[in-house]
Amino acid sequence: MMEQLESVRKQFLTDLESFPETPQEIDELRSKYLGRKGQVSALFALLGKATPEERPTLGKDLNILKQDLTNQFEEKVASVSASQQSAEDDAIDLTLPGKTPRIGSVHILEQTLSEIKDIFKSIGYHVAYGPEVDDDYHNFSALNIPEHHPARDMQDTFFVDPTTVLRTHTSNVQIHLMENEDPPIRYIVPGRVYRNEAIGYKSYCLFHQVEGIYINEKVSFAELKGCLEYFVRQMFGLNKKMRFRPSYFPFTEPSAEVDLWDDERHQWMEILGCGMVDPAVLDTVGYDSKKWHGYAFGMGVERIAMLKYKINDIRLFYNGDVRFLEQFS
Cα radius of gyration (the chain): 41
Q: Which residues contact 16 (CB under 8 A, 6 or more apart)?
A: 29, 72, 73, 76
Residue 118 lies in a domain: yes
Ramachandran area for residue 286 (φ above 0: left; ψ -120 to 50: alpha; else beta):
left
In terms of average pLDDT, the best of 6-15, 34-43, 254-263 is: 254-263
Residue 214 lies in a domain: yes
- 118 and 82 in a common domain: no
- 191 and 282 in a common domain: yes
- 31 and 174 in a common domain: no
Residue 16 lies in a domain: yes
Put simply, whether the predicted model's pTM sits higher than 0.85 gets the answer no
Mean pLDDT of 54-83: 76
Q: For the ranges 69-78, 242-251, 291-300, which has the lowest average pLDDT? A: 69-78
Q: pLDDT at position 244, please? A: 97
- Asked if 188 and 122 count as a contact pair (C-beta separation under 8 A), the reply is no
**How many structural domains comprise the chain?**
2
Q: pLDDT at position 283, please? A: 95
Of 90, 125, 143, which marks where a domain is finished? 90
- 147 and 63 in a common domain: no
Mean pLDDT computed over every residue of the chain: 86
- 269 and 188 in a common domain: yes
Residue 98 lies in a domain: no
- 122 and 79 in a common domain: no
Q: What is the DSSP letter of 102?
A: P
Of 37, 56, 90, which marks where a domain is finished? 90
- 112 and 55 in a common domain: no
Q: For residue range 135-192, what is the model confidence (pLDDT) as tens digits?
A: 999 999 999 887 777 666 666 888 898 889 999 999 999 999 999 999 999 999 999 9
Q: pLDDT at position 256, please? A: 97
Q: pLDDT at position 62, please? A: 75
Q: For residue range 205-237, what is the model confidence (pLDDT) as tens digits?
A: 889 999 999 999 999 999 999 999 999 999 999
Q: What share of the chain in percent tops pLDDT 90? A: 50
Residue 102 lies in a domain: no
Strand order in the sheet with 159-161: 133-135, 164-166, 159-161
Q: Which residues contact 181 (CB under 8 A, 6 or more apart)?
A: none
Range(s) of the domain holding residue 27: 2-90
- 65 and 140 in a common domain: no
- 17 and 78 in a common domain: yes
For residue 83, is pLDDT > 70?
no
- 204 and 261 in a common domain: yes
Strand order in the sheet with 293-300: 126-127, 185-194, 206-216, 293-300, 267-277, 252-262, 242-249
Residue 316 lies in a domain: yes
Residue 103 lies in a domain: no
Q: What is the DSSP letter of 17?
A: H
Residue 96 lies in a domain: no
What is the CATH number for 313? 3.30.930.10
Mean pLDDT of 24-44: 75
For residue 78, is pLDDT > 90?
no
- 141 and 47 in a common domain: no
- 55 and 146 in a common domain: no
For residue 9, is pLDDT > 80?
no
